[in-house]
């Protein structure tokens, strides 16, 4: 391994080099910057990169800490003190975060170095990263396709070896779906497991922060650093944090995995279906017992999700009023003009669409019919999962019904884009945890497009789904495959 090839490493393989002083944290930052300069012109994963700050951190990094000297890419919705935090929105152009989010404070305490803010759908609203007001991010496996979203920048950066690992946020699948489409590992923790303090709120009853990584072990390493109670946040769970790496390597004997018949939907790409069927057989051959289960309210999840998420978003985004921070329209003639034009000029089309929908479902005369009813159906969806988890340890499904789609292919039809969340948003509604791990490829137009296997676990059972995902990953070669843009720095 030469210095130039360092970005090909995962976190667990980089750490011994740092600890044996074979490479310094400063060299890692230098090499990573060079790698980003080489390839990010094609991928466009990053919105901003503060090399000076990262280099300074690297000089004093303690490599013996759990993530000592490891740079981590951060979705641009998470506050890093002194850095931009734009949410890929014009309304936050020029904004600089005055403090570190709790997850950043925890990453730093574990020795990690936040390096680079990554692209996303504006305010995390989208499944393709095309709703960024800044730039389009491209899928490293096929530059004509989307990386998924909304954490598409972090997913693409990790896939293209422009980051050793990254943080994203997941409100309806925004970590797991881009992980699947970009061929990396993405974990959405249990609601309340990871603090959102300092993370710009989209839908407060659904949002969670989690890692995007090259391997399941790396996911566990980042979770060890970021999970835990935060007195700054009222929804933070005050529960002990296990060592998420402890169960890795355990076999699958006695593990029961559920297949929900409601997840066998028409419209799932045949190559995705074949890959999941093969993964189920493989997990079975590793000793896991496969059990049929039912999640009868699955068909309602997307409707519930879009009512609740837009309602919460319309309330959360009311704070963007052009007074305390962010964009402000020039020369307003009165206060209504000030608000109306600031928000018209500052927000992009998808954000506006969702503010309108969310305001409508909360408005007088419609609240009971939409918002209240959706909250009740949400509880039914949660109960479906609770019943399923009486019979099984985890549920298996595709992460996304299709592999990565073409840039522009779905942007004209919001409903089609919303249906991309069909397998992921139920976990947010139920507050449970989920992980996407690479499980094969679809061959499309002569190119390989990654497919993700989703494992859902009950609340606070991250260690279990990490263990199962790790057993699957380590007995397959999917995670070793690299996109064409990364092949040059990988030795066969």
Partner 1 sequence: MAKTSDLDVAYIARLARLNLTDAETELFQKQLGDVLRYAEKLREVDVSHMEAAAHAVPIFNVFREDAPRDWFTAEQALSNAPHQANGLFIVTKVVE
Q: Which residues are catalytic?
A: 75, 150, 174
5 vs 321 by CB, closer to partner 1: 321
| Closest separation in Å from C-beta 47 to partner 1 | 17
H/E run at residue 157: helix 152-159
Among 63, 67, 304, 396, binds partner 1 (CB under 8 A): 304
List binders of partner 1 among 234-263 (CB under 8 A). Answer: 234-235, 237
Among 19, 282, 338, 448, binds partner 1 (CB under 8 A): 338
C-alpha span between 387 and 3 (Å, rounded): 51
| Closest separation in Å from C-beta 369 to partner 1 | 4
352 vs 406 by CB, closer to partner 1: 352
Q: Does 314 bind partner 1 (CB under 8 A)?
A: yes
C-alpha span between 123 and 144 (Å, rounded): 23
Q: Does 64 bind partner 1 (CB under 8 A)?
A: no
56 vs 352 by CB, closer to partner 1: 352
Q: Does 53 bind partner 1 (CB under 8 A)?
A: no
Among 3, 16, 249, 340, binds partner 1 (CB under 8 A): 340
Helix (H, G, I), strand (E, B) or coil at 142: strand
C-alpha span between 440 and 398 (Å, rounded): 11
C-alpha span between 23 and 8 (Å, rounded): 14
Q: Does 382 bind partner 1 (CB under 8 A)?
A: yes
Among 176, 188, 297, 458, binds partner 1 (CB under 8 A): 297
Q: Applying CB under 8 A, what is the total number of residues that bind partner 1?
A: 75
List binders of partner 1 among 458-477 (CB under 8 A). Answer: 459
Q: Does 309 bind partner 1 (CB under 8 A)?
A: no
Q: Does 77 bind partner 1 (CB under 8 A)?
A: no
CA quadruple 216, 154, 101, 321: dihedral sign: negative
Q: Does 418 bind partner 1 (CB under 8 A)?
A: yes
The pair phi, psi for residue 257, each rounded to 5°, is: -115, 135
Query: Residues in the chain, how many?
Result: 492
| Closest separation in Å from C-beta 220 to partner 1 | 22
Return the range that interacts with partner 1 (CB under 8 A); candidates 121-129, 212-220, 379-387, 467-475: 379-387
Q: Does 205 bind partner 1 (CB under 8 A)?
A: yes
Burial 44-62, CB ≥16 within 10 A → b, else e: bbbbbbbeebbbebbeebe
C-alpha span between 77 and 123 (Å, rounded): 7
Q: Distance between terminal CA atoms of the chain?
A: 12
List C-alpha distances in Å: 432 to 47, 114, 127, 298. Answer: 31, 27, 20, 15
List binders of partner 1 among 153-192 (CB under 8 A). Answer: 191-192
In which residue are the tokens 């995390």 written?
Answer: 124
The pair phi, psi for residue 213, each rounded to 5°, is: -145, 170
Q: Does 324 bind partner 1 (CB under 8 A)?
A: yes
List binders of partner 1 among 218-237 (CB under 8 A). Answer: 231, 234-235, 237
List C-alpha distances in Å: 228 to 187, 241, 319, 361, 460. Answer: 15, 6, 28, 34, 11
Among 75, 117, 138, 378, binds partner 1 (CB under 8 A): 378
Q: Does 454 bind partner 1 (CB under 8 A)?
A: no
In which residue are the tokens 């019904």 written?
Answer: 401
Nearest to 436 by CA among 457, 411, 412: 457
List binders of partner 1 among 341-370 (CB under 8 A). Answer: 341, 343-344, 347, 349, 352-353, 355-357, 359-360, 363, 365-366, 369-370
Q: Does 105 bind partner 1 (CB under 8 A)?
A: no
| Closest separation in Å from C-beta 456 to partner 1 | 13
Cβ pair 429, 304 in contact under 8 A: yes
| Closest separation in Å from C-beta 348 to partner 1 | 11
Interface mask (CB under 8 A) for partner 1, residues 260-279, using x and -? Answer: --------------------
* Cβ-proximal residues to 112 (8 Å cutoff; 6+ apart), any chain: 67, 68, 70, 71, 72, 225
Residue 196: is it exposed, middle or buried by C-beta count within 10 angstroms (0-12/13-18/19+)? Answer: buried
Among 430, 453, 485, 489, binds partner 1 (CB under 8 A): 430
* CA 173 distance to own-chain centroid: 7
| Cis omega (within 30 of 0) for bond into 131 | no
DSSP 8-state symbol, 227: B
| Closest separation in Å from C-beta 98 to partner 1 | 5
Nearest to 450 by CA among 159, 174, 171: 159
Return the range that interacts with partner 1 (CB under 8 A); candidates 21-29, 137-145, 211-219, 407-415: 407-415
Q: Does 389 bind partner 1 (CB under 8 A)?
A: no
| Closest separation in Å from C-beta 218 to partner 1 | 27
Return the range that interacts with partner 1 (CB under 8 A); candidates 36-44, 95-103, 122-130, 399-407: 95-103
DSSP 8-state symbol, 431: T
Q: Does 373 bind partner 1 (CB under 8 A)?
A: yes
Q: Does 16 bind partner 1 (CB under 8 A)?
A: no
Among 26, 96, 282, 448, binds partner 1 (CB under 8 A): 96
List C-alpha distances in Å: 224 to 55, 105, 192, 193, 457. Answer: 24, 13, 15, 11, 17
């Amino acid at each position: 391994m030469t210095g130039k090839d360092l970005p090909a490493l995962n976190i667990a393989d980089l750490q011994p080099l740092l600890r044996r002083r074979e490479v310094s944290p400063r060299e890692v930052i230098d090499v990573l910057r060079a790698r980003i300069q080489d390839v990010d012109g094609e991928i466009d994963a990053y919105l901003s990169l503060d090399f000076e700050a990262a280099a300074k951190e690297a000089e004093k990094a303690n490599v013996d800490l759990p993530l000592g000297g490891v740079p981590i890419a951060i979705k641009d919705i998470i506050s890093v003190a002194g850095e931009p935090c734009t949410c890929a929105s014009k309304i936050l152009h020029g904004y600089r975060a005055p403090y570190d989010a709790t997850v950043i404070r925890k990453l730093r305490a574990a020795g990690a170095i936040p390096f680079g803010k990554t692209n996303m759908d504006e305010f995390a609203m989208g499944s393709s990263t095309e709703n960024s007001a800044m730039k389009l991010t491209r899928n490293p496996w096929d530059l004509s396709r989307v990386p998924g979203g909304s954490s598409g920048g972090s997913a693409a950066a990790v896939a293209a070896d422009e980051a050793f690992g990254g943080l994203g946020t997941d409100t309806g699948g925004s970590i797991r779906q881009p992980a699947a489409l970009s061929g990396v590992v993405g974990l959405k923790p249990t609601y309340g497991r990871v603090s959102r303090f300092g993370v710009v709120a989209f839908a407060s009853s659904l949002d969670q922060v989690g890692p995007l990584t090259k391997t399941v072990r790396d996911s566990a390493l980042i979770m060890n650093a970021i999970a835990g109670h935060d007195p700054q946040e009222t929804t933070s769970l005050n529960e002990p944090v296990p060592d998420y790496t402890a169960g890795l390597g355990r076999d699958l004997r006695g593990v029961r995995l559920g297949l929900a018949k409601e997840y066998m939907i028409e419209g799932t790409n045949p190559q995705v279906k074949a890959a999941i069927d093969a993964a189920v057989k493989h997990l079975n051959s590793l000793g896991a017992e496969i059990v049929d289960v039912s999640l009868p309210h699955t068909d309602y999840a997307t409707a519930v999700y879009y009512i609740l998420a837009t309602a919460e978003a319309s309330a959360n985004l009311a704070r963007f009023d052009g007074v305390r921070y962010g964009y402000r329209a020039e020369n307003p003639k009165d206060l209504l003009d000030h608000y109306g034009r600031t928000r018209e000029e500052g927000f992009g089309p998808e954000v506006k669409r969702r503010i309108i929908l969310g305001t409508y479902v909360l408005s007088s005369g419609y609240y009971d019919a939409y918002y209240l009813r959706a909250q009740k159906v949400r509880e039914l969806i949660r109960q479906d999962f609770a019943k399923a988890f009486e019979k099984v340890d985890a549920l298996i499904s595709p992460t996304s019904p299709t592999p990565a789609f073409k840039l522009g292919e779905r942007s004209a039809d919001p409903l089609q884009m919303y249906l991309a969340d069909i397998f992921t948003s139920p976990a947010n509604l139920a507050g449970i945890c989920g992980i996407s791990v690479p499980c094969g490829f679809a061959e499309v137009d002569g190119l390989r497009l990654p497919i993700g296997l989703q494992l859902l676990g009950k609340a606070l059972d991250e260690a279990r789904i990490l263990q199962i995902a790790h057993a699957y990953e380590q007995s397959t070669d999917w995670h070793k495959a690299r996109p064409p843009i990364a092949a040059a720095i990988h030795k066969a």
